[in-house]
Amino acid sequence: MPSPSSTRVSSFTALAAAALCCLALTIPTSGAGAVSPLKSLVGRLLDFGCANPANHGSAALLPAARGRSITCFGKVVSASGRGPAVTKGPVGLGPAQIQAAYKLSGLHASGRTVAIVDAYDDPKAESDLATYRSAYGLPPCTTANGCFRKVNQAGAASPLPIGDYGWAEEISLDLDAVSAACPDCHILLVEANAPTDTDLMTAVDTAVRLGAVAVSNSYGGAEDATQLASDAHLNHPGVAITVSSGDSGYGVEWPASSQYVTAVGGTTLKAASNSRGWTETVWSGAGSGCSAFEPKPSWQHDAGCAKRTVADVAAVADPNTGLGVYDTYNSCGTSSFCDLLLSIGAAQGLDGWAQVGGTSLSSPLVASVYALAGNAVTAGSFPYAHAGSLFDVTSGSNGSCGSSYLCTGKAGYDGPTGLGTPNGLGAF
């Protein structure tokens, strides 16, 4: 009769073999996917696993919660269904595809800054960003040349929060998304002490104080009455505050529901033989709906919701048509064995390129478009006065709501994609 230890070894060997099989069949090992979106991976989707106690070695290392708990929204494509599909070269959409799809090619931000607000530290944020930008021939964005800056929620370079493998994936996604849409945007990364509304809202205030013209927030949590008091931290006239609408389909989360932000929904983006060269439908995971607490802004006029409606605009979010990102912060190192452990979910983080999405992708993309446009904006009002400068998304659904516009793509305004996706800078 086999011993328990030999049984465990056999089980691990079987998992490893299965993972290697899946990897060999579905994952390119070169940068071919960087050239064409048709090389994108398609597979099961996994959450980033932000603030998993395993990411810190011990749950005791997690700071005590101060305020409501918040989670990041990113998702990664998996070949095995257990861990992320990590590749050796770029995969999915790259800067050329993002800029072509949203008519951003050749545009410049003239040194304007996009801030990324996330929780915990990504110790490899700058070095991984350098690899991403180098792979696509983008100009360096470093601390040394003044393009990149990383601070804690108080605005200081140290001390930084503890690291978290899941939030590091979110950070890599956000930094790479800004780089893809706006290669000459300066990037400010503000790392909150913990994923709570108290710490994250402090980080938003810091981002604005340090000069960002757009602040992206790829996280959220369930609505409750306390959010109205926290909204004050999102009320920054002249600065665009973008927030992911959520990745669980029809339903509303905060801070996307705040009356002071641009709530960003999500689409499935595919190359097409039409005049635009691309087509978009509602991504089934995008959040949308009618807030239970937030008053309706004066600039929002849809008739089916007496309070604030989510979303305002959208961009690509479907991980199966998502962005390739580079991230190497993980729990196991840089060996091929580490890659195997990651692929079967036995280790945390990433070790190379992965294809990701969620409205965690659409928020920094839209923040970058705001930065390229350079207009002083009030909450999410600007697109409503310039809806003709958006690509209208008219099909697809993110849930069941009796075919209402709140969960179904329609001509004009709808919940999952708002007024539409960027068509150049006119709506921002």
pLDDT at 20: 44
Tell whether the model's pLDDT for residue 8 goes beyond 60: no
pLDDT at 26: 35
Nearest CA-CA partner of 290 in 337, 256, 340: 256
Q: At 79, is the pLDDT very low, low, confident or very high (cuts 50, 70, 90)?
A: confident
User: Are 186 and 111 contacting, i.e. CB atoms less than 8 angstroms apart?
Assistant: yes
Cα→Cα distances 418→261, 309, 313, 396, Å: 13, 9, 4, 13
Give me the percent of the chain exceeding a pLDDT of 70. 86
Cis peptide before 222 (omega within 30 of 0): no
Q: At 68, is the pLDDT very low, low, confident or very high (cuts 50, 70, 90)?
A: confident
- Return the H-helix or E-strand segment holding 270: strand 262-271
Q: What is the mean pLDDT of residues 142-166?
A: 97
Q: At 25, is the pLDDT very low, low, confident or very high (cuts 50, 70, 90)?
A: very low
User: Are 362 and 264 contacting, i.e. CB atoms less than 8 angstroms apart?
Assistant: yes
pLDDT at 41: 62
Q: Mind listing the pLDDT tens digit for each residue in 280-290?
A: 999 999 999 99
Tell whether the model's pLDDT for residue 23 goes beyond 90: no
Q: At 318, is the pLDDT very low, low, confident or very high (cuts 50, 70, 90)?
A: very high
Q: Mind listing the pLDDT tens digit for each residue in 359-373?
A: 999 999 999 999 999
Q: What is the mean pLDDT of residues 3-29?
A: 42
pLDDT at 38: 38
Tell whether the model's pLDDT for residue 261 goes beyond 60: yes
Q: Which of 25-29, 34-38, 174-178 is the least confident region? A: 25-29
Nearest CA-CA partner of 76 in 346, 351, 366, 318: 318
pLDDT at 44: 87
83: Cα within 13 Å, side-chain hemisphere: 24
Tell whether the model's pLDDT for residue 394 goes beyond 70: yes
DSSP string, 297-328: PTT---TT-SEEEE-SEEEE--GGG-EEEEE-
Q: At 66, is the pLDDT very low, low, confident or very high (cuts 50, 70, 90)?
A: low
Tell me the C-alpha distance between 199 and 62, whole Å: 14
Q: What is the mean pLDDT of residues 190-201?
A: 95
Tell whether the model's pLDDT for residue 145 goes beyond 70: yes
Q: Which string of b and e fits 145-157 if b means at least 16 CB within 10 Å?
A: eebbbbbbbebee
More confident residue, 13 or 226: 226
User: Are 127 and 173 contacting, i.e. CB atoms less than 8 angstroms apart?
Assistant: no
Q: At 228, is the pLDDT very low, low, confident or very high (cuts 50, 70, 90)?
A: very high
Q: Which of 20-29, 42-51, 69-78, 318-327 is the least confident region? A: 20-29
Q: Mind listing the pLDDT tens digit for each residue in 210-226?
A: 999 999 999 999 999 99
Q: What is the mean pLDDT of residues 101-124?
A: 97
Tell whether the model's pLDDT for residue 36 goes beyond 90: no
User: Are 117 and 207 contacting, i.e. CB atoms less than 8 angstroms apart?
Assistant: yes
pLDDT at 49: 81
User: Are 220 and 248 contacting, i.e. CB atoms less than 8 angstroms apart?
Assistant: no
Q: At 316, is the pLDDT very low, low, confident or very high (cuts 50, 70, 90)?
A: very high
pLDDT at 55: 63
pLDDT at 393: 98
pLDDT at 21: 43
Pairing of strands 262-271, 313-316: parallel
Q: At 295, is the pLDDT very low, low, confident or very high (cuts 50, 70, 90)?
A: very high
145: Cα within 13 Å, side-chain hemisphere: 12
Question: Burial, 267: exposed, middle or buried (Cβ in 10 Å; 0-12, 13-18, 19+)?
Answer: buried
Tell me the C-alpha distance between 143 and 369, whole Å: 23
